[in-house]
Amino acid sequence: MSQKVKNFLVCTGIFVFVMGVMLVAAGFMKRSLDTDGAENGIVAEEVNDAAGNDSASDGIELEKEELENSEESENPNIEDDEEQDSGNAQNSIDESSEQEDANLDIEENDSNAQTEAGDSEAGGNEEDENATDIMNNSNVSEDQTDSNGAVKVIAIDAGHQLNGNSDKEPNGPGSSVMKAKVTSGATGVSSKVPEYVLTLEVSLKLKEVLLERGYEVVMIRETHEVDLSNAERAQIANESADLFIRIHANGADDASVSGALTIYPSKDNEYVAYMSEECESLSKAVVDGLCEATGAKNRGAVAMDNMSGINWCSIPVTIVEMGYLSNPQEDELMQQEAYQEKIAKGIADGIDAYVNKQYQ
């Protein structure tokens, strides 16, 4: 072999060796950089997990997991936000009513909703705006009712009866908490008209409006001489209807308190938590519809879990507290035929809005 050929081979060998070393070094540096990158990413997002990641492949796998996790959690995060947002509007009412839950006795006699009058004064303008929005919605919903086949049968319970029944029944399926089966209700402070009379008058008007709008109606009672506990009323509704509307009137120690509210079971309800959201939607729709139609102060939808007639339900339900029998002006107003017709129309508007999915 000539010297030239030897030199050429040696040079080529050295070149190949150097290139090889450079490639190996480059590869090593790249892996090292990836590891740092992955660890940095983890440190930024999950401080606790970052400490143990000393190999590049671990880091990369974790990065992928994080990506997958963040994709999966995107939707739940948005749902949570929406729930929080929609809850915020009711927070003041919910909290006060829940505090009252703890303080008040559990008799289902409507004194539960004695939110301080001063509280709701502050929100008056906001409530007016809400009511205006709903009026627009319900105008649309009236046109759409016929096309919706989901809810057809509405059960209406005219609250209370001629004689209360103080025998006890569980306040929910399997509950050890016992409550009076049904009370005779409040009495108008000025009109002296008992609640059970007012509730049936309005319930019969509501029945007519709903029939006109194409719903079927089941009346839990149409006379005063019945003996139906709150649990029994719920069970009749469960068996015969798609929605349950319970008509009541409110009472408060402070005679100046006025306005309408609706009641639904909270998400923590021991018996019917699964339909809390549906009931909340229904309750909001109904109280907004009622207040828009009557001009009553809107005290909102309030979560309460001590109502037998809700806890025994298996269909979306709301208690409508039309106004305060303890307020002389509102008491007299609720005795007026024309005002009762507005209440009935407003509740029906709310049912339409709920049925047409305008409250979600």
Question: In the complex, which residues of this chain contact Zn ion (CB under 5 A)?
Answer: 110, 159, 185, 248
Tokens encoding 233: 């009323």
Which of 288, 308, 305, 302 shows the shortest CA–CA distance to 348? 288
In whole angstroms, the minimum distance from the beta carbon of 168 to Zn ion comes to 18
In whole angstroms, the minimum distance from the beta carbon of 106 to Zn ion comes to 14
In whole angstroms, the minimum distance from the beta carbon of 143 to Zn ion comes to 34
The CA R_g of the chain, rounded to the nearest whole Å, is 32
In residues, how long is the chain?
Answer: 360
Q: What is the distance between the alpha carbons of residues 37 and 147, in angstroms, rounded to a whole number?
A: 57
Q: Residue 172 or 185: which CB sits closer to Zn ion?
A: 185
In whole angstroms, the minimum distance from the beta carbon of 130 to Zn ion comes to 25
Q: Residue 289 or 323: which CB sits closer to Zn ion?
A: 323
How many C-beta atoms surround the C-beta of residue 128 within 10 A? 14
Q: Residue 185 or 289: which CB sits closer to Zn ion?
A: 185
Q: Residue 221 or 248: which CB sits closer to Zn ion?
A: 248
The set of residues, in sequence order, having a beta carbon less than 8 Å from that of 149 and lying 6+ positions away, is: none
3-state class of 223 per DSSP? coil
Q: Residue 41 or 309: which CB sits closer to Zn ion?
A: 309
The set of residues, in sequence order, having a beta carbon less than 8 Å from that of 162 and lying 6+ positions away, is: 184, 196, 224, 225, 226
Output the residue with the shortest Cβ distance to Zn ion: 248
Tokens encoding 24: 């190996």
In whole angstroms, the minimum distance from the beta carbon of 306 to Zn ion comes to 13
